[in-house]
Structure 1
Amino acid sequence: MSFVPALGQSDFRELRRAGAGYVDKSSFIGQLLADPAHVVLFPRPRRFGKTLNLSTLAYFLGKRDEDLSPLFQDLAVWSDPAARAHFQQYPVLFLTFKDIKTRSYETTLDAIRTEVRRLYSQHQDLLQADVLRADEKRHYEHMLVGEITEEDCRQSLRELSDYLARHHGRKVAILIDEYDTPIQSGYLNGFFDEVTLFFRNFFSAALKDNPSLFKGALTGVLRVARENLFSGLNNIVVSSILSDRRYATSFGFTEAEVATVLEQARPDGGPAGQSAPAPPPEPPRLDEVRAWYNGYLFGGQVIYNPWSILNCVASGALRPYWVNTASTDLLQDLIARRGLGFSGETEALLRGEPVEARIDENLVLRDLDQQPEALWSFLLFAGYLTTTAVREELGEITASLAIPNIEVRVAYRDLFRSWLRRGLPERRHAEELLRALLGGDAPTLEALLERLLVTVMSYQDPAGREPEKLYHGFVLGLLVQLEGEYDVRSHRESGFGRADVLVRPRAPGRPGVVLELKVPQRDETPEQALAAAARQVRDRRYAAELVAAGATPVHELVAVFDGKRAWVRNVDEALSGAMKGRSQD
């Protein structure tokens, strides 16, 4: 049977009725029902099938007049007698926050009101039942057509679950998709405290000590328990991608599943001599798919991003599908404010080397500005890094991290290009900046760097006593797009020391660049800082490696940054200026 991808379809019933290709993940239902945890949180990267899994669970558990058994009879869950005992037995409240990406708390609350009203509308047959008191009916009608207050929203799931449990004589399943999307928006747009306080009360009312709750399941990208978001919810269990083997293959595709999808998607050809629709494109080979999309490790299992695989099968082309749809707002913010935390470790990642980092599963979004481990944790859980090894000692998790595959490597390049376009909207300016760098054109480089600083760079220094690190990451981010023709290294041994940035051509005969970065010390003028940097370049022979590699010409540049100002000089010019200054003195 040919596998036909249903791109963007996350409604289980619609997908099955359309006869679209479906990789059977229904055993997840039996695992969840057998799990003693009352509420389970599943943090996974975006586009890993979270919404479809919750939709499948909702249709399986949901009590309704329509018999949905034909949707499940050929799936794994149907051969699980313990799971089948729960089939269509419970009222279900299924809501999603994946599209709540707003810029203020007021608009976020409005979007939540809309989602709550939709839930109440789905179950308004309760108004015709005899289970609601007169005051409860008035409140229900108010939730349908009245002005829903903030407190109404906080208590909405608890109250509606009570009504449904009373009416059906069954406890209620509460399923919440992408719970953390509004929280990330709050962090990015300055209303983090308000949105966190709201959801703390919202989740507590619905999921803590709720006598009407049968089972709760939440999905998201991040686990943010230490923000007190789930304070007091001792009944919630987190399915970690680092250590939880029970649900390791529930989200995303295993390699065996990918191989099956590729095989089923290959055109059959059809009988000779008969006209037929154009055959679907030939999907790439498994080894090609592995290089582009493999690399994630969940609970010790190798997992592929299903969105990328399905798009690859549909188009027959190896392209960066996931990174073109995943939200990058938070990453863009991190690049603009701290160069994505660039350091020697980040540079090693871009060279394809693993790095060691401490991982905190209870991610504190506030710490992204200050704590390196918070940044590594975010990149891991968001799918921009993967683990190659994990160890835990005395409750502290240390992981070897790496860029998962070609697709995500392309993401880093494109993120910096996008960021560069924000600062230099005209494409010619970005091209001029790189041309100025490789041509040793200090005045043009200075003007364009300063324009970028003014537009997208925060002068606040998260590096504490080492402000050079902020600007060093800023410049390294620009140079990522030189990858391919040039090898860009930072703090690399050359001559008698380490240059801040070396741009070495991969083939001789092309220009090379030494770039030394400084921030003026106390009472030091920019010209004095430039001269000090120039003397360091010459005295320590930073250009030696470029000369040995056959780079020609070799440009020696120094740059000084102060707030949102930039000064760039050729080394000879900086040294000459220093000599003139001394002669005038």
Structure 2
Amino acid sequence: MSSDKLPIGIQSFTEIRTRGYAYVDKTAFVASLVDSGKYYFLSRPRRFGKSLFVDTLDCAFSGKKELFHGLYLSQPEVCWDFETLYPILRVDFSGSALRSTIDLEQWFDRLLTRWEARFDLHKTEGSPGERLISLISMIVERLDNQVVILIDEYDKPILDNLGDPALSTRMRDILKDFYGAIKPLDNYLKFVFLTGVSKFAKTGIFSGLNNLNDITMDRSYSPICGYTEMDLSRTFRSWMSRFNQDDVRRWYNGYSWVGESVYNPFDILLLFSKGEFKSYWFETGTPSFLIKLLSENPRSLPVLDSFLASEELLGSFLIEKILPETLLFQTGYLTIKGESRVGEKLFYSVGFPNLEVKSAFSSLMLSILGGSADISMNQIGLDSILNAGDPNRLRDVFHSFFASIPHDWYRKNKLSGFEGYYASIVYAYFASLGYEVIPEDTTNKGRINLTVMTRTGIWIFEFKVQRSEGCKDQGPLAQIRERGYAEKYRADGRKVYEIGIVFDPESRNIVTWEVG
């Protein structure tokens, strides 16, 4: 297990317990899973503690009772059987970099060969799935005990190669053969648990293992990974006293899978170690295939921050047809904010989980939307402009940025042609610097395109794109005034600024900037 998934300086789950460190007890979930079923699948973003939970399952089924002293699983009323030691087969792709089908086949061959040597079994033959069936039946016959299978990052060979759909499909087929071999082994198995980042459609990788209980969006298991508010106040009380709790919550809380929201544990541990708020999780790397997908299938940033999605949209995808919204949710860049019903159908309100993701993702998208334009130079001084309440200088900032995007970039990219391109840049500008940005801000008379909250003011923006056929729509500032958008904030105490912006798709810049 790599140290970047544990507290700073700690190398293993065993060390956490033996050195007496404060701990977050997730063992009640272990008991619940085993009591309720046998086959489980859990999807969570990278660096959320999936591997540590798999370690916990491993230690529990291995009978390492000394590690669970004082934890839920060791309580007498739970009746966990620490005396029975189950043979455990672990599959962990987290440290692998498999770039061909040959790499994956050889990886499986090495893994299965190690298992054969470990249990002193003869060499098995056939595909990875066929060998697994033979191997497990021999283990049970030799040890007279059922087997536990723990698979961590089941999808990594596919995700690592999504840039090459043909290769990722071939990887999927090899994995499908292996995972599908688990189902016929029911009588030989005690417990099966798979983790991953993504969930592929049942017609894909899991078609042969359709008895999995997917707990990804099960309300009772929402906090199975990550830290809850109670975890921070109870286990990390002394560490939290060094920070403003509202700031910690704003930066790192907000991840939710229908149930209780959680903090990103990777962020929290690095915050305690380094003592400053930064985008620790985001900076560990955004997958290149995600950047490519967003470049080829652009989405409006304000819309991504607040939209309704069906369970089908969030639940799974096919390699051949990946929607950005699905992948963004499964990889942790979007999360569930609430639920609502339309007729008999359940929809989820989806958006960015917290300030870290919103600001860092906006910076990433700003670089994609703006090509090679110098973003940082245009952002310098923005805070002073907003605090001074100078709308005309603010216009100069945005006009300068749009003017700095090379014409050749527009020729090579279709991004500027999608609806919401201009609003996305304005949104990304503010959100990337950490301002509170509210897209589609609801009032009793309509929705404000964008509201930006600063320490000294509230800025209301309405956007329109100039129509080439000459038909004149109502101006954006007139719409703000007619619908009384500013009334929502009159009692706030901060000055309210009303800005109407019209963009010209021909010149690709601002043609009208009206200030109220």
TM-score, normalised via structure 1 length: 0.67
Which of residues 244, 249, 254 in structure 1 aligns to 2:228?
Answer: 254
1:95–1:425 CA distance, 2 compared to 1 (3 A): farther
* Residue 334 (structure 2) aligned to one of 353, 369, 385: 385
Give 1:236 shift: 1.2
Q: 2-side partners of 1:377 and 1:302: how far apart? A: 19
Which stretch shifts more, 399-408 or 540-549?
540-549
CA RMSD after TM alignment: 4.5
Match of 1:358 among 306, 310, 330: 310
- 1:211-241 per-position Cα deviation (integer Å, ceiling 9, x unaligned): 4322110111222233432114342111032
Aligned residue runs from structure 1 range 478-557, under 5 A:
478-483=425-430, 516=465, 532=469, 535=470, 540-542=474-476, 557=503
Q: State the alpha-carbon separation in 2 of the partners of residues 41 and 286 from structure 1.
A: 33
Q: SS at 1:301's partner residue? A: coil
How much does 1:571 deviate? Answer: 5.4
> 1:330 offset after TM fit, Å?
4.3
Which moves more between the two structures, 250-259 or 152-161?
152-161
Match of 1:472 in 2: 419
1:79 counterpart (75, 80, 83): 75
TM alignment of 1:93-108, pairs within 5 A? 93-100=89-96, 104-106=99-101
Query: Do the aligned residues in 1 keep the contact of 2:307 with 2:349 (CA within 8 Å)?
Result: yes
Shift, 1:257, TM fit: 0.8
Q: Per the alignment, do residues 73 and 253 of structure 1 end up closer, same or farther by CA in structure 2, a change over 3 Å counting?
A: same
Q: CA deviation at 1:68?
A: 3.2
What is the total number of aligned residue pairs between the two structures?
A: 475
Q: Describe the SS at the equivalent of 2:40.
A: strand
1:155 aligns with 2:130: yes
Aligned ranges for residues 270-309 of structure 1 at < 5 Å?
283-309=242-268
Do 1:487 and 1:503's aligned partners in 2 also have CA atoms closer than 8 Å? yes
Alpha-carbon offset, residue 427 of structure 1: 6.4
The alpha-carbon deviation at position 43 of structure 1 amounts to: 1.5
Helix, strand or coil for the counterpart of 2:86? Answer: coil
Tell me what 1:55 maps to: 55
User: Could you say which residue in structure 2 is the equivalent of 1:345?
Assistant: 303
Query: Cα distance 1:53–1:8, how it changes in 2: closer, same or farther (>3 A)?
Result: farther
Q: Tell me, in whole angstroms, the C-alpha distance in 2 between the residues paired with 1:503 and 1:289.
A: 21
Distance 1:15 1:342, change over 3 A: same
Matched, 1:172 2:147: yes
Q: CA separation of 1:344/1:61 partners in 2, compared to 1, >3 Å: closer, same or farther?
A: closer
Is the contact made by 1:227 and 1:364 (CA closer than 8 Å) also made in structure 2?
no
In the superposition, the TM-score normalised over structure 2's length comes to 0.75
Aligned to 1:472, the other structure's residue is in SS state coil
Q: Secondary structure of 2:206's partner? A: coil
Deviation (angstroms), 1:44: 2.0
The aligned counterpart of 1:212 is 188
The one-letter amino acid of 1:357's match is A
Contact 1:30 1:83 in 2 (8 A): no
Unaligned ranges ≥5, structure 2: 1-5, 383-391, 442-446, 487-495
Supply the distance in 1 between the matched residues of 2:397 and 2:231 (Cα, whole angstroms): 52
| 2:170 counterpart residue number | 194
Distance 1:78 1:185 in 2: 39
Contact 2:465/2:504, CA 8 A, preserved across alignment: yes
1:113 paired with 2:106, answer yes
- From the superposition, tell whether residues 541 and 85 of structure 1 become closer, same or farther in structure 2 (CA, over 3 Å): closer
Decide whether the 8 Å contact of 2:366 with 2:429 is kept in 1: no
> Given the superposition, is the C-alpha separation of residues 121 and 70 from structure 1 closer, same or farther in structure 2, using an over 3 Å criterion?
same
User: Which protein is bigger by CA-based radius of gyration?
Assistant: 1
Give the counterpart of 2:65 among 46, 62, 69: 69
- Any conservation in 1 of the 2:41–2:193 contact (CA below 8 Å)? yes
Distance 1:395 1:449, change over 3 A: farther
Determine the structure 2 residue equivalent to 1:314: 273
What does residue 284 of structure 2 align with?
325
Kindly indicate whether the alpha-carbon contact (under 8 Å) linking 1:515 and 1:559 is maintained by their aligned counterparts in 2.
Answer: no
C-alpha distance 429-420 of structure 1, shift in aligned 2 (>3 A):
farther
- Counterpart AA for 1:363: S
Q: Percent of aligned positions with the same letter in both sequences?
A: 24
Distance 1:123 1:260, change over 3 A: farther
Distance in 2 between the 1:91 and 1:403 partners? Answer: 41
Residue type at the aligned position of 2:504? V
User: What does 1:134-145 align with in structure 2 at a 5 Å threshold?
Assistant: 136-137=122-123, 139=124
Counterparts of 1:542-581 in structure 2 under 5 Å? Answer: 542=476, 557-560=503-506, 568=508
State the AA in 1 paired with 2:44. Answer: R
Provide the secondary structure at the position in 2 that maps to 1:160.
helix
1:52: Cα distance to partner? 0.2
Report the Cα offset of residue 500 of structure 1. Answer: 10
Distance in 2 (CA, whole Å) between partners of 1:77 and 1:504 is 47
Residues 69 and 452 of structure 1: CA distance in aligned 2, closer, same or farther (over 3 Å): same
> Aligned to 1:384, what secondary structure does the other structure show?
coil
Judged with a 3 Å threshold, the aligned counterparts in structure 2 of structure 1 residues 196 and 442 are, in CA distance, closer, same or farther, namely: same
Aligned partners of 1:377 and 1:402: how far apart in 2?
A: 12
2:223 counterpart SS class: coil
SS of residue in 2 equivalent to 1:217 = strand
What secondary structure does 1:53 align onto? Answer: helix
